[in-house]
Copies of this chain bind each other. A is one copy, B any other.
Amino acid sequence: MTESGSPYDALARVFHEPNRLAIMSALAAEDKGIAFTDLKATCNLTDGNLSRHLKALEVSAAVRIQKSFVGVKPRTTISITAGGRAQFTTYLDALELVLRTAEQAVAHSKPAVAPPLGNEATA
């Protein structure tokens, strides 16, 4: 890992939180946007939780929140921005790199047959 530009640094982002990862994945697949209620169901979140995550993503300009009316009923539609898509892609590339490194580390090293350093309680 280099001092700067480490892929781990790239993970310290607005997208790394698991629910936000779910939200961004759902939005990335739907250019037309997703209704708040549908997004809530897809991501299995409460109104409050989804609102809170969307605010954080909106502050980062990753999503756009648009309110409209269908007849007299208000509708909130969330969509990913072009910038958000680009940021999310960069994040995913870093995540891919980090995951490959971890998978190689796990695969490379088999559990030791003889414990090298005293007691080998598996804890």
Using a CB–CB cutoff of 8 Å, the interface residues on chain A facing chain B are 1-3, 6, 8-9, 11-12, 16, 18-19, 21-22, 24-26, 28-33, 42-44, 61-62, 64, 66, 77, 79, 81-85, 88-89, 92, 95-96, 98-99, 101-106, 108-112, 116-118, 120-123
Contacts and interface: CB of A to CB of B under 8 A. Distances in A.
Across the A-B interface, give the 9 residue pairs with the lowest CB-CB distance, nearest first: A61-B123, A29-B105, A11-B18, A82-B122, A28-B105, A31-B112, A25-B102, A81-B123, A8-B18
Contacts of A123: 61-62, 64, 81-84
Contacts of A25: 98, 101-102, 105
B99 A95 contact: yes
Number of copies: 2
Contacts of A44: 1-3, 6
Given A32-B116, A32-B117, A85-B106, 13 more contacts: A1-B22, A8-B19, A9-B18, A26-B105, A28-B106, A31-B111, A31-B112, A33-B116, A82-B111, A82-B122, A83-B122, A96-B99, A99-B99
Contacts of A88: 102, 106
